Amino acid sequence: MSHELTTEQQRLVDQVREFADDVVAPAAYEYDTRRELPYDIIAAMGEMGLFGLPFPEEYGGRGKDYFQLCLAVEQLARADQSIAVTLEAGVGLGAMPIYRRGTEEQKQEWLPMLARGEALAGFGLTEAEAGSDAAGTRTTARLEDGQWVINGTKQFITNSGSRITRLVTVTAVTGEETRTDGSVRKELSAILVPSGTPGFEVGPSYDKVGWHTSDTHPLTFTDVRVPEANLLGERGRGFANFIQSLDEGRVAFAALCTGAAQGCLEEAVRYAHKREVFGRAIGANQHIAFTLARMQARVHTARLAYYDAAHKIVAGERFKLEASVAKMVGSEAAMANARDAVQIFGGYGFLNENPVARHYRDAKVLEIGEGTTEVQLMVIARELGFPGAA
């Protein structure tokens, strides 16, 4: 399989790379310090069509494919992971579930504004007792007079409380089934909840270690009422559908990890060439040169892994194993490269204004979000035929 980019794909990479270098990078430290989502940059990304890359033109998209979305995410993550995850989550968790499983009415209502980057959407899955174990969901939704009545809480929800957030898809228990062995299985469904719906409250933004400009909030639902038609997909298929979305999202997340690892490498290489100690550039020291070589190897491996998974998505092939491998390899590469880059910079790497310091703070969550490293190992083990691995 060839991983050589087509002319069209390379043109996209060059365009987004230039945007990341000229627009995103110069503003990253300021917005990170202010802990504020840069709406002007998000709007510019919308005008470039980045939020609509994998969607058909009839829904306001650009008619490209998922691999091109991944290419764009990688280039943005070189400069700022917060900006990259705003795009990745906005498309993968916000808009893609509506495109994959929404009714035609739901698609027509929501996708054009999401594809143009004029609006953001979140996906409310995680709860205090339901993270990796999504089946532990306690949020409930009952049908009453043609409406879903939702009660519960969600946490760590990306793109859920910005001033352009227009809806959140919520997973909720909509019923229970008693099995023949006496055990009870929860029926989980996904429901669209527009922002501003009475009873839907967005909590204060989290004080996070990193990803300071990414919009992340806890959510509370108190007798929230939405039409029965807001059910997304088939009733009772909410968990299964989310797992499918998560598998797909992990590939774009792996691209983000690769971009972060690449950004750290580029900064470290640049510094190793210009920083002189004892009369010569520090890159002339074998230890520094070998460290940079290992960083390059991590980036190369991570990129090949997500390219492989993304190509399988585009080809309509099974990709669960490849998605978990790419996510795990990519997140570990980003974390290791951030650590090594800070070490190469020395004291300068410990200053928040330095991009590698921001990458260092940001990178840890890459081993947690979209499924922890331990979850990826569990998925990979199961794909190898060990279903009891947990």
| In contact, 138 and 130? CB cutoff 8 Å | yes
Same domain, 286 and 311: yes
Q: Give the pLDDT score at 182.
A: 67
> Does residue 326 lie within any of the structural domains?
yes
Is pTM, for the whole model, over 0.85? yes
CATH of the domain at 285: 1.20.140.10
Q: Give the pLDDT score at 57.
A: 96
Query: Which own/partner pairs from 381-386 qualify as long-range (CB within 8 Å, at least 24 positions apart)?
Result: 383/320, 383/321, 383/324
Please enumerate in sequence order all residues whose Cβ is within 8 A of that of 136, keeping only pairs 6 or more positions apart, or say none: 127, 129, 130
How far apart, in whole angstroms, are the C-alpha atoms of residue 70 and residue 254? 8
Same domain, 375 and 251: yes
What's the number of domains the chain is made of?
3
Q: Which of 88, 322, 367, 370 is catalytic?
A: 370
CATH of the domain at 115: 1.10.540.10
Residue-by-residue pLDDT tens, the chain, 390 positions = 567 899 999 999 999 999 999 999 999 999 999 999 999 999 999 999 999 999 999 999 999 999 999 999 999 999 999 999 999 999 999 999 999 999 999 999 999 999 999 999 999 999 988 776 767 899 999 999 999 999 999 999 999 999 999 999 999 999 987 777 767 788 999 999 999 999 999 999 999 999 999 999 999 999 999 999 999 999 998 877 888 888 999 999 999 999 999 999 999 999 999 999 999 999 999 999 999 999 999 999 999 999 999 999 999 999 999 999 999 999 999 999 999 999 999 999 999 999 999 999 999 999 999 999 999 999 999 999 998 776
How far apart, in whole angstroms, are the C-alpha atoms of residue 47 and residue 129? 39
Q: Residue 349's domain spans which residues?
A: 240-383
Amino acid identity, residue 40?
A: D
> Does residue 388 lie within any of the structural domains?
no
Active site residue 370: yes
| In contact, 349 and 271? CB cutoff 8 Å | no
> Does residue 248 lie within any of the structural domains?
yes
Q: What radius of gyration, in Å, describes the C-alpha atoms of the chain?
A: 21
